Amino acid sequence: MSENIVPPIAAKKDTVLEKHGDKRVDPYYWLNDRENPEVIQYLKDENEYYQKMTAHTQAFQKDLFEEMKSRIKEDDESVPYLYNGYYYITRFETGKEYPIYARKKGSLTAKEEIMFDCNEMAKGQSYFNLGGLNVSEDNKLVSFSTDKVGRRIYTLQVKNLETGELLSDKIENVSGAAVWANDNKTLFYTTKEKVTLRSDKIHKHVLGSDAKKDELVFHEKDETFSVYIAKTKTKKFLVINSSSTLTSEFQILDANKPTDRFNVFHPRTRGLEYNISHYNDHFYIVTNKDKATNFKVMKTPDTATTSENWVDLIPHNAAVLIEGIEIFKNYLVVEERSNGLNKIRIMPWSGSGEYYLPFEIETYSAFVGTNVDFDTDILRYGYQSLATPYSVIDFNMKTKTKEVKKEMAVLGGKFDKNNYKEERVWATATDGTKVPISLVYRKEVKKDGNNPLLQYAYGSYGNSMDPNFDSTILSLLDRGFIYAIAHIRGGEDMGRQWYEDGKLLKKKNTFTDFIDCSKFLIEQKYTNPKKLYAQGGSAGGLLMGAVVNMAPELYNGVIAAVPFVDVVTTMLDETIPLTTGEYDEWGNPNDKEYYDYMKSYSPYDNLKAQNYPNMLVTTGLHDSQVQYWEPAKWVAKLRTLKTDKNLLFLDTNMDAGHGGASGRFEALKELAKEFSFLLDLEGIEK
Q: What is the dihedral of CA 86, 92, 97, 103, to 10 degrees?
A: -10
Provide the 10 A C-beta neighbour count for residue 223.
Answer: 16
Sign, CA torsion 457/462/466/471 = negative
Question: Which one of 394, 501, 605, 623 is the catalytic residue?
Answer: 623
Q: What is the DSSP letter of 471?
A: G
Residue type, 297: V
State the Cα–Cα distance between residues 195 and 338, nearest whole angstrom: 41
Q: Are 190 and 163 in contact (CB under 8 A)?
A: no
* 107 catalytic per annotation: no
Quote the CA–CA distance of 429 and 592 in Å, as a whole number: 28
HEC string for 20-60: CCEEEEECCHHHHCCCCHHHHHHHHHHHHHHHHHCHHHHHH
Query: Which residues lie across from 203 on neighbouring strands?
Result: 189, 216
Distance in angstroms (rounded) separating the CA atoms of residues 138 and 632? 50
Q: How far is Cα 458 from Cα 465, in angstroms, rounded to an integer?
A: 7
Known active-site residue 14 = no
- H or E element in which residue 296 lies: strand 296-301
- Characterize the bridge pairing of strands 263-264 and 248-254: antiparallel
Nearest to 299 by CA among 274, 323, 269, 268: 274
Burial classification of residue 230, based on how many CB atoms lie within 10 Å of its CB (0-12 exposed, 13-18 middle, 19 or more buried): middle
Cβ–Cβ under 8 Å, residues 119 and 98:
yes
Residue 383 sits at φ, ψ, to 5 deg, of -140, 140
Helix (H) or strand (E) holding 18: strand 15-19
Residue 544: in which H helix or E strand, if any? helix 539-550
Residue among 277, 538, 624, 662 flagged as catalytic: 538
Three-state helix/strand/coil letters over 281-340: CEEEEEECHHHCCCCEEEEEECCCCCHHHCEEEECCECCEEEEEEEECCCEEEEEEEECC
**Sign of torsion, CA 451 472 66 674?**
negative
Q: Among residues 658, 662, 676, 680, which one is catalytic?
A: 658
Partners of 355 in the β-ladder: 346
Run of H or E residues at 636 = helix 629-641
Is there a catalytic annotation at residue 266?
A: no
Q: What is the C-alpha to C-alpha distance for residues 677 and 671, in angstroms, rounded to an integer? A: 10
DSSP 172: E
* Residues marked as catalytic: 538, 623, 658
